[in-house]
Structure 1
Amino acid sequence: DAGQYWLPLFHSSSVGSTNWSGLKDETLDNYIDTVNVTVDKEERKVLFQKIWDRLDELHPFVVLAVPNELYGVREDLVGAEDFYDGRLNYLGNIALKD
């Protein structure tokens, strides 16, 4: 369930442990608290969207990533034939043709 991730990452009660950004926001805390006790699927969808929107407003951190992905390959590479699937792929088994 997606609700299990919001409390440790962004709730004020988790500052100093798993809330590495140090974010403290009463509005966000209320959304997280409410979604974690809401059973109705449609209500939860609305609350999750409110959480995303609030996080977008607050920008608690910037995610930096360097994907391990190929966007094009040389014709003489072996092992990269199925890498055009839109997913991140392990590049350790790629080699030049003999």
Structure 2
Amino acid sequence: MANTPQSKKRARQNEARYAVNKARRSRIRTFLRKVEEAISSGDQAAASEALRSAQPEIARGVTKGVLHKNTAARKMSRLSSRVKALSA
């Protein structure tokens, strides 16, 4: 348990930051799920639109420190290749 005033404040800050990061992660996952659902439905137009809306959200996750840069790049790359494959 936190004893010093500094450690008590740090615990409060960690709790607040955890809540913000959790909300951001959830939001990113929602956008990713929309892309996945569009891909599984086979609708290329909807999938590309969902991907277009998900990309800035993923990039924002990187700038906010929720996702690693390479993780975000990998997710965007794999999703875009799957969306592109729908047209073939």
Task: Identify the TM-score tier after normalising by the shorter chain.
Answer: 0.3 to 0.5
**Structure number with bigger Rg:** 1
Q: Which has the higher helix share?
A: 2
**Larger relative CO (CA 8 A, sep 6+): 1 or 2?**
2
TM-score, normalised on structure 1? 0.32
Q: Which has the higher strand share?
A: 1
TM-score, normalised on structure 2? 0.34
